Amino acid sequence: MKYSINQETARELDLEGLQLLGALAVEPVKAVDPPATFRPNYLTTIASLRKNETPENLVNPTIGTDGYEVARCFPDLNPPIGLFGQSHASFIQLCRSVFEASDVGATISETFIVESCFEWMRQRHLGATDLPLTEYVLSRCERNVANQEVWLPLIGVQLNLELLLANILFKPVRQADWRRWVFEWESRHPTEIPRLRRFLVDAESEGMSVAVRRLTAEPIKAVEIALKDAEAALDVLRYFSPSNRYPTMPAYCSIAGREPVNRPKHLIIQHAALVSAGTTIANMRANHPWRIDEDLVTKMRGVGFDTLVNLLATPHEERSELQNDFFKALAVYSKSCIAQSLTDKLLYAVLTLECVLLKDESESLQKHIGERMAFIIGKSLEHRIAIVANYKKAYALRSGAVHHGREVTEEEILNEFMPNAWFSLNWVVGALSQFKSKQEMIEHVDDMKFL
C-alpha cells in the first residue's frame, strides 16, 4: 500500500523533526509527570514466530498518573536520551500532524506513527539514515501493512457453528488445529512453547470459540479494529443471552481478558510464617458457558436476530436516526448482560430503557417508561397494571442505588422486571424499520393509549 503527503506539508514536518532532534536530552534523574495527550496502545507478544514490528529497538515510555504518555527515551544508549516535558509534547503534536497529513488512519494506528517517528530520531541521531522524517515514516508504514486475520478468544460462550455478524465471524476452534499449530511452532521455536502453552491455558483453549476479523492494516491497528468491531458484534449477540431474562444467571460472553472476573488473591500467615497462597474463586469463569447451536440460532432469528445483524452490517450514515439510537442503547444493555451484580444489571437496564423510551430529559423516568412498556407488551388491562407496578418497584430500587448507594438484592422484583425490559426492547427491534426517529416511535406508542 502506498501513502503520500503533500510536498509542502512534508517539508514543514521534516523541518520540525530536525528541530526536535536538537531537543533530545539526557534522561532526568527525577521523572516529571505533566499533563499529556497521548495514550499508547502497545501489543505485547507472549510468543512470536516473527520479529516484532514496533518498537524496533528499546524504547522506555513514561506513563503519567492520568494514563497518558509524558516522556520517552532510548534506554540502551549511553547515556539514555529522549524527550521530556515540552519537547515530548511537541513531539506528540508532530506525530499527530504526520498522522493527519498522511491520511493513514484506516490502516495505521497513531501508536505506530509515534513509534516510527521516534525510531527515525534514533537512526538520525546515530547517523544510520539520511532520509527525511516523512519519507522514513511512510516507508515504514508501507512495509508493515499486510493482510491480517485477528483471532480474539472468547470467554463464556461456546459455539458449535459459525456465525457471521457484519465483518466478525464467530466460530469454534477445533482441537486438531491447536495441536497442529503447536507442533509446527515447536519445530521452529521450541524455547517459546512453555509461554505459548501458558497463554492457551489462560485463554481456555479447550473448547474455545473465537471472533475473527480479516482486514488489511499494520498489527496494532488490526487489533484495534478487531476489538472495536468484535465488541459491536458481541452487543448484538449478548442481546439474546438468557441472563437478560434471568438476572441471577451469571454470564460473561466477552473477549478473553475483558471478562468481569472476581478472583481475589490471598496470603495466609500463621505464627509469622507463610503457610498458604492462592485465589478465592468468587465466580467460576465460564464454568457453564452459553452454548450456541443451530436450534438456538433458529429461535434467535424468530425474535430479531437477522434484523440486528443486517443493521450491524449497514454503514452508520445509511441507518435511520432510530436505528442508530437503538445501537447506542444496545451497547449499554450489553453491559447489563455481563454485569455480575443485580445492582449493575438493574442500572444498565433502566438506562437502556431511558435511551429508547424517553423523548427528552424533561420527561419523568418513573411515569413515562413504565406506561410505555405497559402499552408495548401488555396483553390485557391487568397485565399492563402489573407491568407499571413492577416498573415502579424497580425504579425505587434504582433510585436507592443511585442516590443512597444501596445494594439491590430483591431478586423477585428483577425476575419480573428484566424480562419486561427485554420484551419491550424486542418490540422496538421489530419497529426499527417502521419508524425513522425515536420521537416518531414514541408518539406512536403514546397514541396506543387511545386505541
What is the DSSP annotation of 97-141? HHHHHHT-TTT--HHHHHHHHHHHHHHHHHTS----HHHHHHHHH
Based on the structure, what is the number of domains in the chain? 3
Instruction: Identify whether residues 286 and 347 lie together within a single domain.
Output: no
Residue 78 lies in a domain: yes
Residue 31's pLDDT is what? 60
Is 173 within 8 Å of 187 (Cβ atoms)? no
Say how far apart CA 344 and CA 279 lie, in whole Å. Answer: 24
Radius of gyration of the chain, Cα coordinates, nearest whole angstrom: 27
| Measured CA distances, 397 to 344, 373, 403, 423 (Å) | 11, 18, 10, 20
Residue 168 lies in a domain: yes
Instruction: Identify whether residues 324 and 280 lie together within a single domain.
Output: no
Say how far apart CA 442 and CA 447 lie, in whole Å. Answer: 9
Instruction: Identify whether residues 240 and 212 lie together within a single domain.
Output: yes
pTM equals 0.90
Is 87 within 8 Å of 36 (Cβ atoms)? no
Residue 192 lies in a domain: no
Residue 66's pLDDT is what? 83
Residue 205's pLDDT is what? 61
Instruction: Identify whether residues 377 and 348 lie together within a single domain.
Output: yes
Is 254 within 8 Å of 154 (Cβ atoms)? yes
Instruction: Identify whether residues 319 and 268 lie together within a single domain.
Output: no
Going by C-alpha positions, the residue among 326, 318, 316, 108 that lies closest to residue 229 is 316
Instruction: Identify whether residues 392 and 448 lie together within a single domain.
Output: yes
Going by C-alpha positions, the residue among 109, 117, 180 that lies closest to residue 148 is 109
Q: Last residue of a domain, which of 273, 303, 333?
A: 303
Q: Last residue of a domain, which of 278, 303, 328?
A: 303
How do 265-270 and 273-279 pair as beta strands? Answer: antiparallel
Q: Last residue of a domain, which of 284, 303, 322?
A: 303
Residue 206's pLDDT is what? 66
Instruction: Identify whether residues 18 and 124 lie together within a single domain.
Output: yes
Residue 343 lies in a domain: yes
Residue 252's pLDDT is what? 83
Instruction: Identify whether residues 165 and 267 lie together within a single domain.
Output: yes
Residue 51's pLDDT is what? 61
Residue 154's pLDDT is what? 92
Residue 242 lies in a domain: yes
Instruction: Identify whether residues 270 and 159 lie together within a single domain.
Output: yes
Centroid of chain to Cα 204:
20
Residue 151 lies in a domain: yes
Residue 309 lies in a domain: no
Residue 204's pLDDT is what? 64
Instruction: Identify whether residues 421 and 318 lie together within a single domain.
Output: yes
Going by C-alpha positions, the residue among 337, 371, 367, 374 that lies closest to residue 352 is 337
Residue 223 lies in a domain: yes
Residue 49's pLDDT is what? 67
Domain boundaries, position 135:
7-144
Instruction: Identify whether residues 93 and 129 lie together within a single domain.
Output: yes
Residue 280's pLDDT is what? 79
Residue 55's pLDDT is what? 63
pLDDT less than 70: residues of the chain: 30-34, 49-57, 202-206, 282-287
Instruction: Identify whether residues 253 and 359 lie together within a single domain.
Output: no
